[in-house]
Chains A and B, each alone.
Chain A
Amino acid sequence: MKIVVCIKQVPATNDAKIDPKTKRIVRKGIKAILNPFDTYAVEEGVQLRDKFRGEVIALSMGPQKAEESLREAISVGVDRAILLSDRAFGGSDTWATSYALAKAIEKIGDVDLVICGKQAIDGDTAQVGPGIAAHLDWLQATYVMAVEEISSSSIRVKRMHEDGYDICEMSLPAVITVVKDINIPRVPSLKGRLASRKCEIPVWKPDDIGADTSKIGLDGSPTRVVKIQPPPPRHTSTKKIEGSSTECAQSLLRELRLRSII
């Protein structure tokens, strides 16, 4: 089985600023991390590879620095990684990004399954995974909380939604996006981290994947950001819980459950 996991490097902080002119995130000077939701996608890919053998490949699009996130994926068990990086990709919206990733997946060839995190924490669109499926004309399942069964020709997954879950069965190849309930991502080992620093990560440019340059970058992006404004500040409040220690503990437990904290 050949699995591609699409990952993204994102700013590590919630304090990321928006450039008022370009209306894009200012990434300079901000620590970058692997998108937290993508760590679940990577873990799922590695677990499926371990179970069914084959290969798991991490794929990312971004500046050269995004290579760090690919190395992180390798450090937890991904077999190899590919970076799409070129000025021509710059400014791509989710449609252009998913087009480029789909072209790369075509070039990799014989891919059975593409796994993405449910969304990236910087854009929060949740569009790239479904966009890849649309460009490839493959079946897709979003918000996957469990892979129940997989064979060489089909996959059965559990999809989370507000009222419970759906069981979906799809023929392969397919795209899934996963939520954090699906697994517990492993922490990189020192051995894995050291190995990941040595491996070579090929950088593919638009020509390498046969991409139509009119469909990537700013020109290939139908999205136009007209206006950006910060959300209204959150109002916080304090609630005092009184009573015996048992009553307080029960009240606290109820409050936390009502807020879905536990």
Chain B
Amino acid sequence: MIHHIRNKIYHVEVLPPKQDSEKLEKDLEIFSNKYLRVMDSGYCACITDNAMGLLSFQGTEMIEELDLPVIPEQVMIHLNTFHTKDDLDNILDICKSKGIRHLLIITGDGSERLPKLQPSDVGATDVESVTSVELLKYINREYPDTFVLGVAFNPYEPEEHEFEKMERKMKAGATFIITQPLIERNEIVERLLEKYPEIPVIVEAWMSRKLHLLSEAVGYEIPENTEFDPISTLKMLHKLYPECGIYLSLLGFKTQYDLIKDIWV
């Protein structure tokens, strides 16, 4: 992952169509175009896994069904704990066979419609529920030397609790970290960088103008009319965290994509 940072490879979030899409063919086409554009740019396409608990199609099945090319270093699949054991193994097998190496392992939001992995599914005997830690251990055990596994860091959670979780994630085999969206300097992220100087850290840049959508993530109310300039914030994050990679969430492919290519130089 460190070479993504050295080579200034942006991580671009690409959301698969929702399960209940009423214009599925159109949405598939949009997904395909975005994915191919990211590939052409030499960036890394990061495909989410039922983000926010909204039922969406899996990244691996999108790649298979749409016959999208996989450039191993340019694809990252998010994988959470809301799957059946069969689905989990199927996703991992497809990743392996397609040469997809980078996985972001998260506990996930879940929803009533999504099945949750059970401890017995991943051979965990000492826990009541499966988190990213158990999933990391399972993947490292069942697919040794196959994947590069990353984890999420939330600087808006109680600090000591988050660092304690991060320690467990590291022990379970995580080798890179992606933060929650940053909109300004964050001392807790700086502590993270100090604590894990050898681990590649990718900070998330919120590319939507609708900053208030972040209220829940950051844990305080952001007024709906708050003005926000994502491009300026992105430039600021590059200055603040030159040793970090950047994950672009909710990037506007029509309005912003062409603007980012000259920012990280």
A binding-site residues for B, Cβ under 8 Å: 39, 184-191, 193-194, 197
Contact = CB atoms under 8 A, between A and B. Distances in A.
Contacts of A185: 113
Contacts of A189: 57-58, 61
B61 A184 contact: no
A184 B84 contact: yes
A184 to B, nearest CB: 4
A194 B65 contact: yes
Contacts of B84: 184, 186
B24 A197 contact: yes
A33 to B, nearest CB: 8
B62 interface: yes
Given A184-B84, A186-B84, A187-B55, A193 B24 contact: yes
A190 B115 contact: no
Given A194-B65, A197-B24, A188 B19 contact: yes
Contacts of B115: 184, 186-187
B106 to A, nearest CB: 18
Interface string B105-131: 000000001110000000000000000
Contact of A191 (B24, B61, B113): B61
Contacts of B57: 189-190, 193
A224 B63 CA distance: 54
A249 to B, nearest CB: 13
A187 B113 contact: yes
Interface of B: 19, 24, 55, 57-58, 61-62, 65, 84, 87, 113-115
Given A39-B113, A187-B19, A191-B65, 17 more contacts: A184-B84, A185-B113, A187-B87, A187-B113, A187-B114, A187-B115, A188-B19, A189-B58, A190-B57, A190-B58, A190-B65, A191-B61, A193-B19, A193-B24, A193-B57, A194-B24, A197-B24
A237 B65 CA distance: 50
A38 to B, nearest CB: 13
17 contacts: A184-B115, A185-B113, A187-B19, A187-B55, A187-B87, A187-B115, A188-B19, A189-B57, A189-B58, A189-B61, A190-B65, A191-B61, A193-B19, A193-B24, A193-B57, A194-B65, A197-B24
Nearest to A31: B20
Q: Rank and list the top 3 A-B pairs by shortest CB-CB distance, nearest first.
A: A184-B115, A190-B61, A190-B57
Given A184-B84, A197-B24, A190 B62 contact: yes
From A39, A185, A188, A189, name the one whose CB has the most chain B CB atoms within 10 angstroms: A189
Contacts of A197: 24
A95 B19 CA distance: 34
Contacts of B24: 193-194, 197
Nearest to A194: B65
A7 to B, nearest CB: 16
Nearest to B17: A190
A39 B55 CA distance: 15
Nearest to B113: A187
A261 to B, nearest CB: 13
Contacts of A39: 113
